[in-house]
Chains A and B, each alone.
Chain A
Amino acid sequence: MSHSTVPRTSTEAGTPEKTPVASGDATGAREKPPAGKLSFRHRFRRDRVLVLMTLPTVLLVLVFNYLPILGNVVAFQEYDPYISDNGIISMLNSPFVGLENFQRIFEDSAFWNAVENTLVLFFVQLVLFFPIPILLALLINSVVRPRVRAVAQAVLYLPHFFSWVLVIAVFQQMFGGAGMLSQLLRENGYDGLDIMTNPGTFPFLLTAESVWKDAGWGIIVFLAALASVSPDHYEAAAMDGAGRWRRMWHVTLPALRPVIALLLVLRVGDALTVGFEQILLQRDAVGPGAGEVLDTFVWWNGVRNQDFGYAAAAGLIKGVVSIGLVLAANKVAHLMGEQGVYKK
């Protein structure tokens, strides 16, 4: 048993105990009581090095992910950044104003404009972006020549590693006022066309950029799901007379269902985050009317206008609604019989 050649994957094997350091015999672990029954001191002595190893990460997370939660206090303050260079001292000396910031936000038409833009973008991206990686994965999966597959994958993955600055620069060189498209139009006697500054088509421009950058990368998880389908299923379906398309409908797509559900849940849970860096880089080109979303609204009011309390309040609203969305999306997934992000 202890010489089994099958590598033990700990999750599948339940919770195998770690061999105590003191034990000089690998099989000895099994006769010891389960980890939970050892005394704290014993477990600490045994595991202290492992716990120590996680310490730098835990510290970073506590400082940069958990500690700032307290900073949301400024949402209830009229925060004055000029009191001190140190945010904490300014925070301690700024007056509390109750829910005034929130009241102002709900009366601010710019806020509701940002909400509307965020939701429109979410739906446009969901409808136009989401299916593309699935279709691309089916396409790649149907390519049987290994070299063609590898080359196509290398090309499709590439833009995922480009920065948003670069992606937008590329789009500007193609579709901007001095870009390739305008150049072609002018050479043929038409007027140039600047798509990069057109507010009306902004959601579609953003979606096109996202597709260019990340649709290829999105196929990985679908390809993995496709690779896990046993060829026997296809063979059995073919024996039963199912043609190419019926096999795709009855074998391939059901295999993708859990992955699609999981990604949909993740996407809906993250609905209020629609690409902060990407939009911030282009906000000024199209103007805040079309280019302001919730995240850039927070940035503009806080970082640019130094109205920190107001911006923090807007950020807090977004954060709280987002957590609600994650929980709700998971609930729906569970009701539909899918696993969702976390288990029940």
Chain B
Amino acid sequence: MTAVIDKPANKPRPWAAPPRPAWEEEPSRAGLAGKGIALSFACLAILFPLWIVIVTSLSSRKTIDEAGGLVLVPKGITFIAYRELLSGGQVTRAAIISVLVTLVGTLFSMAVSVLCAYGLSRSGTLGHRWILMTLLATMFFSAGLIPTYLLVQSLGLMDSYLALILPSAISVFNILVLRGFFMGISQELIDSARIDGAGDFRILRQIVMPLSRAVLAVITLFYAVGYWSAWFNASLYLNDQDMMPLQNVMIQLVQKQEAPVGLGQAIKTGQLSGLAVQMAVMVMALLPVAVLSPFVQRHFKKGMLTGAVKG
């Protein structure tokens, strides 16, 4: 992760540039400025739209009308849009559904994936090669949308939340990443635990998993984001509008510009701005990932590479 080659002897100053090696020429002023501008532009292109979305979601109807729509500079903060959306009704229900599907799904996916990854992490075991091939092959073909749809229908999963979890429960890529990490844990450590009488489940729980916190955090985030962001399976397998998760409701509210069920009147006549409501739904969708992902960020590279390379 760090580019620091020669550690500075004095206290670490994270904002300062570490000393350059002697052979490297000092950067020119123009070069530094150019880099700064390019990097700032890239970051602003991401942050500026998010800023507008957040500020508008927190603005009153008056501010929004004065600004002629989207609000750039906040003038007073009001949580009216959030209060209305979260006081029961369509969006509240959708948010709860999304949270529950994400929690249950992530737990299930992690349990299944970690078990499989550990089961495959000791090479030379019985059937190890066959199982690995069976999993790997799925990365190169897809049975197709229609056959998968017919299968889910035949299994009786239509209009069931299981249809949002089971068909997409595992990612072979994630299992490979976990497996790659587990393979790096020394065989001696595992052998010594075995001599002390620990079985495979106990070794996994008490030795392998505690040593793999970084990669477990990364893969948990990947699975959770997958469930949180999913909308297509819900649109395919659920017919009941009351069962829809947050992303599907967001399609209705933001893309199709419909008013949330029960709030139409308040938007037409009252204090509530339709735009603020749209923005508030968007903030609800982005907040969990925006808050969680930076914490896991420093593990990304480590987690991604150990597994991907050894695939």
Contact = CB atoms under 8 A, between A and B. Distances in A.
Interface string B27-53: 000000001001100110111011011
Contact of B115 (A19, A56, A154, A174): A56
Interface string A270-286: 00000011001100010
B247 interface: yes
A136 to B, nearest CB: 7
Contact of B125 (A50, A70, A89, A141): A50
B77 interface: no
B115 A53 contact: yes
Interface in B207-239: 221, 225, 228-232, 236
A220 B126 contact: no
Given A47-B125, A173-B49, A174-B49, A144 B18 contact: yes
B188 A26 contact: yes
A170 B49 contact: yes
Interface string B117-132: 0111111111100010
Contacts of B50: 170
A290 interface: no
Contact of B53 (A9, A170, A269): A170
A90 B146 CA distance: 14
Contacts of B282: 166, 169-170, 173
Contacts of A152: 39, 42-43
Given A158-B290, A161-B289, A169-B255, A316 B144 contact: yes
A10 B122 contact: yes
A58 interface: yes
Interface of A is mostly: helix
A60 B286 contact: no
B10 interface: no
Interface string A167-183: 01110111000111001
Contacts of A35: 124-125
B142 A153 contact: no
B69 A178 contact: yes
A57 B135 contact: yes
A53 B70 CA distance: 53
Interface in B141-177: 141-151, 153-156, 158, 166-167, 169-170, 172, 175
Contact of B301 (A62, A224, A319): A224
A121 interface: no
A7 B289 CA distance: 34
A109 interface: no
A187 B68 CA distance: 9
A318 B144 CA distance: 9
A277 to B, nearest CB: 6
A47 B187 contact: no
A212 B43 CA distance: 10
B304 interface: yes
Nearest to A169: B254
Interface string A84-110: 011111110000000000000000000
Contacts of B17: 144-145
A50 B112 contact: no
B155 to A, nearest CB: 8
A163 B231 contact: yes
B16 interface: yes
Contact of A295 (B14, B113, B145, B153): B145
Contacts of A322: 141-142
Contacts of B46: 155-156, 158-159, 212, 216
Contacts of A144: 3, 17-18, 20
Nearest to A19: B191
Interface stretch (A123-131, A199-207, A298-306): A298-306
B87 interface: no
Contacts of B53: 170, 173
B194 to A, nearest CB: 7
B199 interface: yes
Contacts of B16: 145
Given A170-B49, A212-B46, A302 B145 contact: yes
Which of B187, B251, B308 has most A Cβ within 10 Å?
A: B187
A234 B46 CA distance: 33
A250 B262 CA distance: 64
Contact of A57 (B148, B175, B225, B279): B175
A301 to B, nearest CB: 9
Contacts of A174: 49, 52
A317 B309 CA distance: 31
Given A143-B39, A165-B251, A231-B21, A319 B142 contact: yes
Interface in A237-278: 238-239, 243-244, 269, 276-277
B267 interface: no
Contact of B126 (A43, A71, A87, A136): A43
Contacts of B24: 234, 238
Nearest to B224: A161
Given A144-B17, A165-B247, A165-B285, 6 more contacts: A51-B126, A74-B150, A85-B153, A136-B42, A163-B228, A220-B304
> What 4 pairs across the A-B complex have the smallest Cβ distances?
A71-B147, A163-B229, A87-B150, A53-B119
16 contacts: A17-B124, A18-B124, A43-B126, A46-B126, A49-B199, A58-B116, A60-B169, A74-B150, A158-B294, A162-B289, A180-B69, A220-B300, A231-B21, A281-B255, A308-B150, A322-B141
